[in-house]
Chain A
Amino acid sequence: MSPATGDDAARIPLAIIGIALLLLSTFTVAMVGASRLASQQYGPAGELGRMDELLFTARGDLGRALNYAVLQSCDDVGRSPLIQGIDSNGSGYRIVDDFYEIERITVLATDFFDEYLDANYRFLPGDTRVAGAFRTGNVTLSVIEATVERGFEHPLWAAYDEADTYFVASVPLNITIPDMNGGFAVVPVRIETLVTTRYPLLRSLAEEFEGRLNGASPLTLDVTAGTVAYTWARGYLQYATGEPENIIDNEHMALMANGAIMLEQASTFNSVDPMGLAHFGVETLLALLPDGESVDRTTELMKEVGKTWWMEHQNVNWQQDALDSTADAGDAMLALNRERSYEFNLSGIVQEEWTNFLFDGELKRAIADAYTANLALEIGREVTYSYHVSPPGENWSYAGAEPWEVDSFHVNEELFFPDAEQGYLECVNYSVQRSRQFVYVHDDGGQTAYTTERMGEHIWLNISCPVYSNSAGTSNDITNPFQAVRLDQSGGYVDPNLNDAASAYRDAIGLNHSIGSRDSRTLLYDILVNNRSGYTDGAVVLSREVVCGHNHWVEYLSWEHLGDIRNATGDIGISILERDYFDPGDMMIQAGSQLDAVLRARSGELLGRANFTNDDGMFESAGTKAVYSAGASFFGQFGNVSGMFENAAAGLAETVDTALENTAQSELDTDTLIGQMNDSRSLLDYEFVLPLGSEINLTFPEYPGWSETVRVGLDQTPDYLNTTYYSDEYTGYDCYTMKVKNICLFTIQLGDVADMLIGSGFDLLDREVLLLIDGLFSRADEFVNTTLGNEIEGFVTNITGDLKDELVDSIYSRIANDSELGAIFDNDDLTGIIGDYLDEFGRGEIIHGLADGSLIDGLAETLRGQRAFIAAYLAGTAEPYLAEYLDYLCQRAGELAREACVEAISGLMHELKDEIQQIYLEFSEQLEEEVKAGVDGVLSELGELAFSGLPILPPFGWWFTINVWYVEVQGDIPGLTVYDTGNHPHMSPLFGHQPQVYVREFAPVFNASGDLIGYNLPVHYKVQTASFILVPPGGGGVGDRTGGWEEASEGFEQDDTSGA
């Protein structure tokens, strides 16, 4: 019973419920099954999934087709990139960005993609899933940039660390899909795909590579480093041993430049051309090693000889290559690494200033200054009486006054003060009566009346000397300046001092006790009547400087003192290590600064003031001060040593700049040159092991987690860039793959430089030139009837024939203009004296005497020995110190003759410049023949006498010798193919796949319509640089003695390198 109702009839049997459940289950099964069937076959959700699937598949395949289209475009464009476009006028222009390339690729890719659409997405029978795809816009490309991390980096100038790497291509399409109703649904889509070639990366790298080969570029640093290596390794050995004769050789330059270009390949691509590297090894052996001559230069050789010998020379090591290029790498290493200390002393400057001081009047001026007094007249007036007659009265007007007239005067007192105790040298007291008349005119105009004014005065005229002996920076520092003194401590000489200063002053201003006549009144008259303004009481007027007389022992002692200073100062020197001062200009400036400091420190000792003064610092006499002052004045010439060296440094830079501009036609300047050398210097510390396809890591900042590697392969044609004419079989491109020029800027063979060097100073380069000629002349029998022999004979004839006249003219010109010697010697005297001297020399002895300096020394000594001649001239004079004066004049004549000789011989050398150049040229050529023939003949023995270089710096001494080589390397790489060997995106029927390439070679470039749009061009490179070397002074200097001053490889005269 139901608890609720208690009616069992209301109960539903469980079986009924079970039947209901069974029916419900059946229904559920049927519904679920129907639903599944519908969803699989007919349902809306199933239709949508099917269309999505069709679209998904179509999008995927169209993306692939788009990738293929762009791949093929990149393949085409990579094989013939557009480097030089043609504008509407048909003129070529350089493509400077990748805009045109992307444009080309998109145009091509659009065409290619259309072909895929036409072939695969139109009217396809069978199981085509979409009815068609129609492009609604052009293919566009965007770039994915990667961060580039290289295993091999250029140590000074790393390649860019970012590069375009991939394209993403996209294109808008309408895709038509068949629907269930037999119609079509049009779905607009944008297909976007990663293009699976790294063409952008290859182009970026290739562009960067060419950029690194031109202008202010890493290649410039590389070539500079190589040039420096060769210059130094071979230059220092030449200075030490005389060999090699030719320091910079074009074959070496070509080798070095090939290495530099490969270094840039490695720095950019982390790879070099394997065959190029092998050839480099071969060429290194051939060019540098002694046994290289016996090796045949062929590719076949590489497998015949075996791997070891050439593989050992594949690495780029300019330092070692340069050492190997000498005949003796060991000695070259020693010479290179020798610690060179450059001595800078003042001897050259002292000699130059000594001459100037003596012969330009400086000594005379120094003596005169010591004997100079500045005097003045001080006036005192005291009126003793004065009266004036009254004017005439009314109706008379004052019309003026007549001048004062001296009515009478006399000297009351005259005082002399030899020691200027009162501040005056002399005081004179006059009593004066003077008068004058006033003029009056009557108002009627007709009458004149006079009245008289009378005055009595005492007038003092005091001669003062406020300043005397103002020299060497001091004045008024003589013990008894106005008295003659005997110098017991200085040879007992009598010094008149300034004892005639007052009289000299009176003479100078015209003051004596006379008032003159009425028509010719004197200074005294004017002072006494005070008609002129200024002669009032208390006035100091008529300042005058007077030079007092002196005895000639002053010149004698001054000469002695100057000689001591000259010798002591000339010995002052400092040494500087080259390694501390890479820039010679900096080294010179530093040398000047250090010398200046030494001079300042030693000035007191050298001048020896204490030797000339008493304990109070007062000079014993004007003469002693004159001697001191002469020394101080001479010493003062060196006060600007720093400035001199700075000027010399600037002069060096200017000289090099001029040579670069005039001789090498280069716009390089010294600053740039020094900068390049400084920058590249550290490259010499490296031995570059060139990579053959090292991995470059790429990461993509915009896509975190994406990284990959790339290995680049290079194929360069030809494998080795040499200086012979090259014709590319494949492209027909003709060119010089490498043109090398080196110019040794400072060599006598060179016109402008010869002008600059020859005659710049006999003691320097002229003497070195004459040493070579003397050496050749002494062995003239070995050159009889040769061009060189004839040149030497002609030179000797000319120089000996003209020498006597030139010397007489020069010495006479000097002496005639000398204030002290001019009156003593005339032309005939000198002709006789010089002629007698030269008659003692034979032709060869003259050259020898000029070369070793003995001829000049002898001639100076001859003039210095004319004591009797000079004494005879002075016999009639009342010279109290004749012996001393004679000594002085003889010394002076000798020095003057020396200077005149240097000048005369320098002039002669300059006149004979062409002959000298010709001798050097012949010598150089014949020496080169000897070297090539392996003959160790007389020319080889004399080779180190053939001076080359620029002595630094006449006329201030020879501190070091410098030479500069200008180097220019340029050319084309006719074929350069860059392979992405880390990705092979292009299908190859033979190999399965092939890599993306980027080819630089000469080829016309056409657009899709077949129109010429420009050219692909070979990679061009050009470097201009220079290197210098410093060697110590003397010897033969440093420079190319064979091979000519300018060595240019074949074809360098052509401006245009493209031969196609």
Chain B
Amino acid sequence: MGEGNRGYSTMVDALAFLVLVSVAALFLAPVLFPATSEPAPGMQEQLARAALAGLVDARVSEFNHSMVPVFVSEFIQDMGVHLDSSELTSTFVNQLFNHRLLHRTYADLLCDYAASQFYVGIAGEMGVNVLTSSYRHGLENELQDYFSSSLGPFWAWSLQVAWEPFTGVPVGGYATFGHPQPSSAWCSSIQVSMPNRAIMDTEEIREVINPFTGNITRARSVESVERQVESAFEALTDEILNTTLVPFIGPLFDWVDDFSGANSMLRLNESLLSDIEIRQSLEYGFTPDVDEGGSNSLDIDGFRGFLKTMILERNRQFLHDFSAMLAPIIESGTASGESVQDFLAMSLGERFPSSRARLSLQIWEAGTS
């Protein structure tokens, strides 16, 4: 190669070197300098889980909510006290109606909210207990603060709390906070303990269902098993409603009876009663109030009957499937009577998970929808 070619060749090498380095840089760049605004796959899940776990552990030093002022006024007047700005009445009012919570976790606040909501998802969503409406507003603010600091500005979030003490029945506590989530949102959920303890332990459930399922091992058909399981479930439903619903929700109804001012706020809207099935159920449970233009006011016995109907109806398929699964086992004789009873108690008891709620968190990149 001549001297003239040598210079050319050097130039080509240099150009080729630069091109190859540039290509290598293009390969390496995403690895060495990843874009911070573009989350890597998995990080979304981790963030969601961490934020959810933080709700269980992190405490709000002080949280306040109060009852609706119109109730305060009526309540005090019903007590025979003039409402004025004096220290006596203002202190009295504050003590009764302003609620302050100290050192509670976010999960506490969410679960307590769910437990006091009286959500009845009959036809559309309705929170019956309007006394605690300011609770939700306070929670929204606290959660916004929490997620802003834990997720940062690039993530949007949606949080649901669901407490369904009667499986399949839309009665309990449900609430959604945050923004409407897109389909691409990552969802993470956990179960958390509720302030309400378990309605019954396994032993107590066994005592209730045993009169109906004591001879189930002698059943020789799916239908026979299903009849016994349904009877046991109905007895269990009655017992649970009697022992929990009355003391738990009863005060609300007592309060309605005591204070006429609050009664008008607790009417079921006629327009909600479009579903014929629900309407027929309610005919047993809600007493017509002629003074209020035909709307119906709540009644604890009626509500209990209504719930029972709902529970039985919504668990009918489960009971059928469960019986179908159980019958062959019984027929095979592979399980002892004792173990069958335990299995029954646990399985039926699981239909009343009053001691836990589900927290679900969806997060997605802010700005997407």
Contacts and interface: CB of A to CB of B under 8 A. Distances in A.
Given A57-B190, A64-B108, A127-B190, A990 B252 contact: yes
A13 B13 contact: yes
Nearest to A713: B95
Contacts of A28: 27-28, 31
Interface string A708-752: 100101000000000000000000000000000000000000000
A985 B101 contact: yes
A992 B116 contact: yes
A983 B101 contact: yes
Contacts of A302: 80-81
Contacts of B218: none
A554 interface: no
Contacts of B41: 40
Contact of A14 (B16, B42, B116, B131): B16
Interface string B182-226: 000000011111111110011000000000000000000000000
Interface in B80-109: 80-82, 84, 86-88, 91-92, 94-95, 97, 99-105, 107-108
B175 interface: no
Nearest to B201: A118
A990 B116 contact: yes
Contacts of B346: 123
A924 interface: no
A115 B355 contact: yes
Contacts of B194: 68
Contacts of B80: 299-300, 302-303
Interface stretch (B48-56, B154-162, B305-313): B48-56
Contact of A116 (B21, B57, B355): B355
Interface in B98-137: 99-105, 107-108, 111-113, 115-116, 118, 129, 131-132, 135
Contacts of B94: 693, 711, 981
B170 to A, nearest CB: 17
A440 B14 CA distance: 179
Contacts of B95: 693, 711, 713, 979, 981
B19 interface: yes
Interface string A263-289: 000000000001001100000000000
B193 A18 contact: no
Most buried by B among A59, A60, A63, A128: A60
B115 A989 contact: yes
Most chain B CB within 10 A, of A24, A302, A992, is at A992
B335 interface: no
Contacts of B16: 13-15, 18
Contacts of A17: 17, 20
A116 B201 CA distance: 10
Interface residues of B, number: 83
A128 B192 CA distance: 10
Nearest to B11: A14
Which of B86, B116, B249: most chain A CB closer than 10 A?
B116
Interface in B330-362: 346, 350, 353, 355-356
Contacts of A13: 9, 13, 16
A68 B201 contact: no
A325 B41 CA distance: 85
Given A15-B17, A708-B102, A21 B82 contact: no
A72 B115 CA distance: 15
A118 B356 CA distance: 12
B366 interface: no
B192 A64 contact: yes
A713 B249 CA distance: 25
Interface in A10-49: 13-15, 17-19, 21-22, 24-26, 28-29, 32-33, 36, 40-41
B51 to A, nearest CB: 11
A63 B9 CA distance: 75
A993 B88 contact: no
B325 interface: no
A278 B24 contact: no
Nearest to A69: B197
Contacts of B189: 127
A992 B190 contact: no
A53 B53 contact: yes
B40 interface: yes
B192 A25 contact: no
A547 to B, nearest CB: 89
Nearest to B350: A125
Contact of A60 (B9, B56, B191): B56
Contacts of B115: 987, 989
Contacts of A25: 23-25, 27-28
B11 to A, nearest CB: 10
Contacts of B131: 990-992
Contacts, number: 214
B248 A989 contact: yes
B19 A18 contact: yes
B324 interface: no
A987 B112 contact: yes
Interface in A961-996: 979, 981-993
Interface in A172-220: 194, 196
A116 B14 CA distance: 73
B279 interface: no
A15 B82 contact: no
A277 B88 contact: yes
Nearest to A17: B17
A307 B84 contact: yes
A1057 interface: no
A100 interface: no
Given A194-B103, A990-B116, A992-B132, A120 B193 contact: yes
A985 B195 CA distance: 10
A989 B190 contact: no
Contacts of B320: none
Contacts of A32: 31
B288 interface: no
A61 interface: yes
B49 A196 contact: no
Contacts of A64: 56, 105, 107-108, 192-193
Nearest to A40: B42
A72 B67 CA distance: 23
A57 B56 contact: yes
Contact of B104 (A53, A196, A988): A196
B272 interface: no
A708 B105 CA distance: 17
Given A302-B80, A708-B102, A984-B100, A118 B132 contact: no
A142 to B, nearest CB: 16
Interface string A244-275: 00000000000000000000000000000010
B31 A29 contact: yes
Contacts of B135: 992
Interface of B: 6, 9, 12-14, 16-21, 23-25, 27-28, 30-31, 40-42, 49-50, 52-53, 56-57, 62, 65, 67, 80-82, 84, 86-88, 91-92, 94-95, 97, 99-105, 107-108, 111-113, 115-116, 118, 129, 131-132, 135, 189-198, 201-202, 248-249, 251-252, 255, 346, 350, 353, 355-356
14 contacts: A17-B17, A29-B28, A29-B31, A33-B31, A40-B42, A64-B192, A116-B198, A127-B190, A128-B191, A274-B88, A314-B88, A985-B102, A988-B116, A992-B132
Interface of A: 8, 13-15, 17-19, 21-22, 24-26, 28-29, 32-33, 36, 40-41, 53, 56-57, 59-65, 67-68, 71-72, 112, 115-116, 118-120, 123-129, 194, 196, 274, 277-278, 299-300, 302-303, 306-307, 311, 314, 692-693, 708, 711, 713, 979, 981-993
Given A14-B13, A127-B189, A983-B102, 19 more contacts: A13-B9, A14-B17, A24-B24, A25-B28, A57-B56, A60-B53, A64-B108, A68-B193, A68-B194, A116-B193, A120-B355, A128-B191, A196-B102, A299-B80, A981-B94, A982-B102, A989-B116, A991-B97, A992-B131
